[in-house]
Structure 1
C-alpha cells in the first residue's frame, strides 16, 4: 500500500460489491468518510485535523491507535445513502480491510512530540504485569540472550509517512510543515512539491466529499446567524478553514517547500509557535518573542536561554519563572541570584518553594573531581579539585515577609501538581 488513496480505491470496489448494483453508488469520497467513522470520528475533516492515518508496524502501536468501530461506520453509511440492510455488512467489511492493513490514526501531538524530542521513531509500550516480569527473569536465568526484541516502531521518515505529511502540508496543515522541517534537517529524504499519481487522484476524490458542497451551504447558513450542530457543523467549520487556508496561500505562504527553514517558515505562518522557536534557535529569527500568548511544547528553561542567545533579554525572567514554578532548581537559583536578586519577596518565595520541594538552596553543593572534571576516584588518585556552587544568600527581611512568602510558596506548591496553563508575559 503506497498511500491511503490506494486503500480507498481497493475498498471502494469491495464496498460497492457489498452495497449491490441497485444500491447507492459508493463514491471514493464516501470511503474516506466511512474510514473516519470507523475510527470513531464524525467526518473525514475531523480525521485530518486529528492526525495521520497510516499502517502501524507492531501490535502495541495498533492497540493504541487502531481501535475500530463498526457501529458508527454503519450509521454513517446509512446517511450516505446505503440501504439499511447493507450498512452493517459494509461497515464490517471496511473495518476488516482496515484491520488487515493495520491502519491506525496517529495524532499530530504524538508525531510532533517524538520529532521535537529528537526521535524519528514513535514507540508504544505494552503494559506488563508482575507475572510477565517473573517469567522473563526466569527465562533470562536459563538463557541470558532471551531478552525479547522491542516492538517495531513507526518510522516517521518512512516514504508512507513523508508522503502523507507532504499531502497535509500542501493542504495548509502547519503541523505537517513542522514535522517535515524536523525530518529534513535530520537527513530524511523529502521531495519538495505536490505529489502526482495517487495523491492527485485523492485531490479529485476530496472535491466530491459531502462537506465540500454541504460545507458551503452550512457555512452560508452560519453567516446568516443559524446555529448548526453535528456533522453539518463540522462540515461548515471545515469549509471555513479551507477558505482561510486558500487566503493564506494567496499571500504566498510556502505550501511547497524543500529546506527545513522553508517548512519552519510555512509552519510559523500557519500558527505553529514551535516552528518560531526553531527559527529562533537555528537562524536567530526572534519573532517568537513578539507573540502575546505563545503555545509551545518546549522546556521553559531552554526558552529562557534562547531569549538571551537571540538578544531578547526582557523575556528571560518570565520563562525562568515558569520553569521555576514547575520545580526547576536551576531556574530558581538563577532568579534568586540574578534576575530577581533585588526583590526580597521573590527571593524568599523561591527559597520556601525549593524547601517544599526538598531542596535548601542556601546550602552549598560541592564535590571532589579530577582535573578532567570527572568525579574523584581514590583508586585513581592524583590531584583533587573541588567543583560546585555556594548556597544562595538570602536578604534580610522581617518575620511578616517570611510568612507572606511562605504562603506564596505553599500556593505554588499546591498548584504544581496540575498544569495551571499560565503563560509568561514580558516584564
Structure 2
C-alpha cells in the first residue's frame, strides 16, 4: 500500500460511512489529524506512515482532534462527528501508524527512541515504540513507509536520506553471504546470455545487491551533503571520507571511542585525541589508558588525572593484566594441556608529581567523576 492508495481507500470508506463527498486534499489533512498533527505538511516534515509494525502514536487517542479538523476544513458537525469516530477506528483496524523519522533511524541503529518527539504523549504510547523494537525490521520497511521516506527525501530531508541509506545498507555480514560465482553469472546475464535455475538466482541476487549498494551510497552521500553528522561519520568509516572531521562536527550520536578509532585510521591524530578525550570524560577507562600512552604523556598532571578518574570508576590502570593462553591465542585450558603462553599488558607507570600537582589532578578527576555519576542518574 502506498500513501496514495491509503488516501484513496480512506476517501472511499468515509464517503460510504458519512454519505458526504470528500476532497482528496482533505483526506490527507484528516489522516494527519488522526495522529495529532495540525496539518499534513507538519506530519510529512517529521514523520512517515507505518503498517503492521512500529508506531509512535495511537490513532484512537485523537478522535476529538479529527472532529475539530473536519470542522475547520468546512464539513458540517454531523459529518465531523462520524469522521471523528470512524477514521481512528479504521486506521486502528488496518494497523496504520506513524513514526518520526528520527525514531525510525534510532530503531534501525538499535538505539533508544528520541522521546522528545512525544513529550506531550502519555507514557503508554511510548510502550508501543519500546515493545515493537523487538520486531523484525523487515516487517517495518513497508511500501507505505518507503513511500513516505522517498517523498521526504525528495524535499531535502537529510534524516530521510539517512534512514533510506540504513535500510539499503543490508546486514554487516552481507558480503560473507554472497553466492560463489554471483558476479560471474551476473556478467553473463549482462552480456545477453539466457540463464535458468540456480545460475539465474545467483545473477539476480548479485544484481539486487548491486542495486542496494548503489542506493545506500547515493542516500548516504546526499544525507551527508545536507549536513547529517551520522551520515558524514558513516562516510568516514566506510569510504575514508574526511569531511566529518574537516567540518569539526561535535554533535554526533555515536560512541566517541569509535569516532577516535576512525580518525586514527585516517591518520588524524589530533582528531583522535579530541574524541578519545570525549570518551574518557564519559567514563571510558580504555580511552584514558590510550590518552596516557599515546597523546597526553607530555602532561603529567593530565595523565595522573586520568589515573585517578579510572580508579574512581573501579579500574586500576597501574595493575598488570596478564593471562595464560594456548599457542593459538585461546584462553588456556588445563584439561587440554600443552604449552602455555602469557598474553596481556603492563600496568601504566607514571613519574611522580608534587603535592600541589597531585591535588590539582585529584580535583579534576573528582569533578569529572561527579559529572559521569550525574549522567548515569
Query: Normalised by the shorter chain, which TM-score bucket?
Result: 0.7 to 0.9
Is the contact made by 2:33 and 2:65 (CA closer than 8 Å) also made in structure 1? yes
Residue 356 of structure 1: CA displacement?
1.5
Q: Specify the alignment match of 2:33 in structure 1.
A: 37
Q: TM-score, normalised by structure 2?
A: 0.76
SS in 2 for 1:155: helix
Q: Could you tell me which residue of structure 1 aligns to residue 107 of structure 2?
A: 114
- Counterpart position of 2:306: 350
Matched, 1:10 2:3: no
2:329 to 373, 377, 387: 373
Higher helix share: 2
Alignment check: 8 A CA contact 2:50 2:144 kept: yes
- Asked if 1:46 corresponds to 2:45, the answer is no
> Residues 41 and 413 of structure 1: is their aligned pair in 2 closer, same or farther, counting only changes over 3 Å?
farther
Q: Which residue of 1 aligns with 2:123?
A: none
CA offsets per residue over residues 70-112 of structure 1, 9 Å max, x none? 1122122221112233323212111011101111112222322
Would the alpha carbon gap of residues 11 and 175 (structure 1) be closer, same or farther in structure 2, given more than 3 Å must change? same
**Partner secondary structure for residue 402 of structure 1:** helix
- The total of aligned residue pairs comes to 318
State the shift of 1:342 in Å: 0.9
Listed as ranges, the matches of 1:84-123 within 5 Å are 84-117=77-110
Corresponding position: 1:181 with 2:165: yes
How far residue 35 of structure 1 moved from its aligned partner, in angstroms, is 2.0
Within 5 Å, which residues of 2 pair with 1:91-170? 91-117=84-110, 126=131, 155-170=139-154
Structure 1 segments unaligned to the other structure (5+ residues): 128-149, 189-256, 421-427
Whole-angstrom distance in 2 between the partners of 1:347 and 1:356 = 14
| 1:181 Cα offset (Å) | 2.2
Equivalent-residue separation in structure 2 for 1:273 and 1:410 (angstroms):
32
The offset of 1:345, in angstroms, is 1.9
Query: Would you say 1:361 and 2:322 are equivalent positions?
Result: no
Q: For each residue in 1:395-427, what CA deviation from the matched residue of structure 2 results, as whole angstroms up to 9, or x when unmatched?
A: 31122222222222222122224559xxxxxxx
TM-score, length basis structure 1: 0.68
Distance 1:43 1:403, change over 3 A: farther
Which residue of structure 2 aligns with residue 72 of structure 1? 65
8 Å contact 1:70–1:88 — kept in the other structure? no
CA positional deviation for 1:41: 2.4
8 Å contact kept, 1:8–1:31 = yes
Give me the whole-angstrom Cα distance separating, in 1, the residues matched to 2:136 and 2:218.
Answer: 31
CA distance in 2, matches of 1:279, 1:100: 41
Structure 2, gaps ≥5 residues long:
112-127, 173-212
Tell me what 2:116 maps to: none
CA-atom RMSD, angstroms?
Answer: 2.7
